[in-house]
Structure 1
Amino acid sequence: MKKNILLWAPPLLLVLAIVLAYSPLLDDKPVLAPVTTEVQRGTLSDLVTATGILQPSGYVDVGAQVSGQLKIIHAEVGDNVSTGDLLAEIDPTVYLAQVDASRAQLRNQQAQLKDRQAQLTLARLQHRRQQRLMAENATSREAVQIAEATLHSAEAQVDALKAQIAQTESSLRADEANLDYARIYAPMDGTVVSIEARQGQTLNTNQQAPTLMRIADLATMTVQAKVSEADVGKLSAGMKVYFTTLGDPGRRWHSQLRRIEPTPVVENNVVLYNALFDIDNPRGQLMSQMTTHVFFVRAETENALLVPVSALRFTERAGAGKARSTVLNNGRKEEREVQVGISNRVQAEVLSGLEAGEQVILNVAPAGQNGDGRRSGMRIRF
């Protein structure tokens, strides 16, 4: 019997060793290798993102101040114009006739004024003559009174005619202004971005001021970014901002936030605020109504130690800006207290507690695990 036991002992020991070696495969919750990543140096930005549209920084809707047929339009969409350039002409026939009539009336009144002034001079002479005769008792008091009344009447007629001339001159200036308004000039330097009227169209300014065209300053564009109410409190005037366009996503246009409009815009029950900033556009590459992807830079750092946010554990006990991280040190886990700088949703800056090249353990389930923490796949059973 003892001899049989001795014969079976080596195989049993071998089986026991194999079972012990593969015991992790028999456990429902096997011990798995942690997921790690290396502490590296790089650039990190804390950004607020938004979408926006490009608009000209300044524009003027050029309208007509007088009615009439639009005879000529001298500009086309896309033309660059300077202040004072002739843009369009309205038929001036009626306004030219009014100017001619006012000028003729003015000349008539000026001729009448000369006649009244001559009569005034005569009345003064007669009045002085009657006064001398009265001093010598060579005339009657009634004659003196008549001469005095004639003088006052002549003075009044001259004053009245001067007032009429002033009124006519005022009307003439208005008529000349209307005649000038029949020629429409550019009020600013810029680019004609739209033309609303057509040559030969009759304009009626009695109902509303018709808009002929729009001139915009495309040398400087304004980005109107729509920021959600959850992020608008993170923005401040003067902060750095950059954006990309759909047509050239690889190029960044840099600027600074100018202001945030206080009145929100509600779109599909979402409250949004317009954040505005300007960008130089000397080559005209940026155009009106282009869609932009905007990035507001809250903070940024270069050549900093970076770790994934999932490698950090933040607790109230640790305090603000502090966290804990688990590090593999010669194959063993080691807890470290880490001082954290700026961070975003993906990465965080490490100010102290870790060194470049060290391996930190991520607080995530390893690939291939099910939701209960077990590795998916086939198990080996004995």
Structure 2
Amino acid sequence: MKHLGKTLIGAAVVAALAGGGYWYVQQRAAQNPETRYKFASADKGDVTQTVSANGTLTPLVLVNVGTQVSGTVKKLYVDFNSKVSAGQKLVELDQSLLQTVARQSRANVVNVQASYDLAKASEARMRALLDKEYISRQDYDQSLQNLKSAQAQLVQARAAADKDEVNLGYSVITSPVSGVVVARLVDIGQTVAASFQTPTLIQIAQDLTKMAIDTSFAEADIGNIKEGMPVRFTVDAFPNRSFQGVVQQIRLNPTNQQNVVTYNVRINVDNPELILLPGMTAYVSIGVQKRPGALLVPNAALRFKPADAGKKEGDAGKPAAGGPGQGNGGPGGGAPGGGKGKKRDSQSGTVYVLAGGEIKPVAVQIGITDNRNTEIVSGDLKEGDRVVTGENASSDKKPSSVGMRMF
């Protein structure tokens, strides 16, 4: 029995030593930067900074066809998607009342014409009598005044008749331009009233091969946008396809909603295939700056900060290795020490580089970004340097400070 007990104890000691060795090897491996961190290479390439917004596709020229007279819709000559030419009939209103008014006006012209003819004849007779001194000058002046009044009434009656004829013609609405009907807002039997404002009956897109996008950009981005800049956009109907456009106009009328100021930017778009439809939502992207052959690092490298970065700095607040500017932090890149230092500069950042088997902070000046990579303008970072972009999931657990329990 004693021999068996010694054998079991020896086996337990050997197992404990083996386990301790394995644990030590695992902890050493976990502290290895190659195992603990994720790396990416600082490489040169092209980077384009873009600004984005959403907009709505509209026809470049959209004509609202209305009516200047009131009435009931009697006939419809077009429908949605109908192709029309200039002067073509679109809608016809009931003409019964307008025809009656026009006939009354014509009859009034005949009546006033008769009065004018009588006044003219009377004036001629009175002039002949005046020449023979059979009447006074006052009687002749009275007949002349009657003639001029009858003439004015005739002109007024003819103008009223012309107006009623024009209104009768307005009961037939024709297309002012050639294009495609994109909206029909009335039906047969519907009454339209044009008393105070012109009601819209038909909407016509003059040329759907030319479209426009009306979109709004924040005031922080509008300073980088210029007329004539190329534009790329996508629509939900064709998610895997990119379309082209150009900035036509930056409208100076701002919109202020909840203290957020935006400006309307109008973009011209060619639509030769007629696949872009009015009302589609466009996701617009405008390249405002471009840097060819720039030194680039992933944005994740500027956001990364080791969990034990504070321990690398002394109690006196001495900066860790990495050179001057260590107290500055760029977008997503903080100061390694996390202590008090200079005010942060929005154009500065810090990346961690693998050097000599350990990671070291390097202060850099950053430029533009495309939301994936950021341009490095200056600093000690060189092409080919391996920068830390994050920690591996297996290294998230801190090593235990308690060793394996012995028997």
Fold match (TM-score > 0.5) = yes
Residue 194 of structure 1, CA deviation: 1.2
- Report the CA distance between 1:363 and its aligned residue: 5.1
Paired residues for 1:106-117 under 5 Å: 106-117=109-120
Residues 175-324 of structure 1: matches in 2 within 5 Å? Answer: 175-206=164-195, 209-217=198-206, 218-225=208-215, 227=217, 231-236=218-223, 237-238=225-226, 240-249=230-239, 250-256=241-247, 258-259=249-250, 261-265=253-257, 273=262, 275-278=264-267, 279-312=269-302, 314=330, 321-324=347-350
Q: 1:71 touches 1:200 (CA, 8 Å); kept in 2?
A: yes
Question: Which residue number corresponds to residue 149 of structure 1?
Answer: 138
Q: Secondary structure at the match of 1:84?
A: coil
Question: Which TM-score applies when normalising by structure 2?
Answer: 0.70
Q: Conserved in 1, the CA contact under 8 Å of 2:27 and 2:399?
A: no
Report the CA distance shift for 1:81/1:302 in structure 2 as closer, same or farther (over 3 A). farther
SS in 2 for 1:117: helix
Contact 1:24 1:31 in 2 (8 A): no
Alpha-carbon distance, 1:162 to partner: 0.9
Q: Is the 1:240–1:257 Cα contact (8 Å) retained in structure 2?
A: no
Change in 2 beyond 3 A, CA 1:70/1:253: same
SS at match of 1:241: strand
Within 5 Å, which residues of 2 pair with 1:1-382?
A: 23=24, 25=26, 30-33=31-34, 34-130=37-133, 146-206=135-195, 209-217=198-206, 218-225=208-215, 227=217, 231-236=218-223, 237-238=225-226, 240-249=230-239, 250-256=241-247, 258-259=249-250, 261-265=253-257, 273=262, 275-278=264-267, 279-312=269-302, 314=330, 321-328=347-354, 338-352=364-378, 353-356=380-383, 358-362=384-388, 364-370=390-396, 374=398
* In 1: Cα distance, 2:121 partner to 2:399 partner: 121
State the Cα distance separating 1:322 from its structure 2 match: 4.9
Question: Is the CA contact 1:95–1:175 (under 8 Å) kept in the aligned structure 2?
Answer: yes
- What is the percent sequence identity of the aligned residues? 26
Per the TM alignment, residue 235 of structure 1 is displaced from its structure 2 partner at its CA by 2.1
Cα pair distance change 1:380/1:275, threshold 3 Å = farther
Q: CA deviation at 1:309?
A: 2.7
Measure the CA separation in 1 of the matches of 2:190 and 2:346.
70
Which has the larger displacement, 51-60 or 168-177?
A: 51-60
Distance 2:29 2:43 in 1: 36
Is 2:350–2:364's contact at 8 Å kept on the other side of the alignment? yes
Shift of 1:156: 0.8
Rounded to whole Å, the distance in 2 between the matches of 1:69 and 1:23 is 94
> Are the counterparts in 1 of residues 183 and 203 from structure 2 also a CA contact under 8 Å?
yes
The one-letter amino acid of 2:212's match is T
Higher relative contact order (CA 8 A, sep 6+): 1
Distance verdict in 2 for CA 1:205–1:338, change over 3 Å: closer
In structure 1, stretches of 5+ residues that fail to align are: 1-15, 131-142
Distance 1:107 1:247 in 2: 65
Structure 1 residue 26: Cα displacement? 5.4
Residues 219 and 280, structure 1, Cα contact 8 Å, conserved in 2: yes
- Could you tell me how far 1:346 is from its partner in structure 2? 2.9
Deviations 1:205-256 (A, max 9, x none): 44764432222343433323355xxx44222352553210011122233322
- What is the TM-score when the length of structure 1 is the normalising length? 0.74
Q: Do 1:311 and 1:362's aligned partners in 2 also have CA atoms closer than 8 Å?
A: yes
Distance 1:297 1:44 in 2: 10
Structure 1 residue matching 2:255: 3-state secondary structure: coil
Distance 2:38 2:161 in 1: 90
Q: 1:347 offset after TM fit, Å?
A: 1.2
Q: Relative to structure 1, is the Cα distance of residues 337 and 204 closer, same or farther in structure 2, using a 3 angstrom cutoff?
A: closer
Which has the larger Rg? 1
Matched residues in 1 for 2:74 and 2:273: separation?
Answer: 34
The 2-side partners of 1:232 and 1:76 are apart by 42
